[in-house]
Structure 1
Amino acid sequence: MRNADAMVAAGKSVGEVLQALEVSEATLSRWRSQYGGMKSEEAKRLKSLEEENNRLKKIVADQALDISMLKEIAKGN
């Protein structure tokens, strides 16, 4: 994101920036809306937190499945 803004400020067209970064205009727009006012450290922290959140959600889903299976087994006994 910062690279794109720097390239545009240096006088490159948006098309040249998209080609240099090898992204679509939609991707650049999404990056701007998602990470627009963030510094790179903040964006890295956000990405790290999102990854941790996804990992924890998977753990909870696995535990819920285990509980559900144990309940089904307990019904049979």
Structure 2
Amino acid sequence: MERSKFSEAQIAFVLKQAEDGTTIGEVCRKAGISDATFYAWRKKYAGLTPSEMRR
């Protein structure tokens, strides 16, 4: 399985930006990810801190 080029902290930062009111399209463009990737991350990591993501 291929390792992600984004760390847990980076994923948490992207998700936090969207929660704070930035549009999802803008967040994805800045991070260089697709909308599908964002929604997959949100489904998998919603509400978790970076330390909890590692478990």
* TM-score bin, normalised by smaller chain: 0.5 to 0.7
CA contact (8 A) 2:17 2:27 kept: yes
- In the alignment, what sits opposite 1:42? 52
Gaps of 5+ in 2: 1-10
**Contact 2:15–2:42, Cα closer than 8 Å, also in 1:** no
Gaps of 5+ in 1: 47-77
* Corresponding letter in the other structure for 1:25: D
Relative contact order (C-alpha < 8 Å, sep 6+): which is higher? 2
User: How many pairs were matched up?
Assistant: 44
TM-score, length-normalised on structure 1? 0.47
What is the deviation of 1:3?
A: 1.9
State the identity as a percent: 30
Between Structure 1 and Structure 2, which shows a larger proportion of helix residues?
A: 1
Matched, 1:18 2:3: no
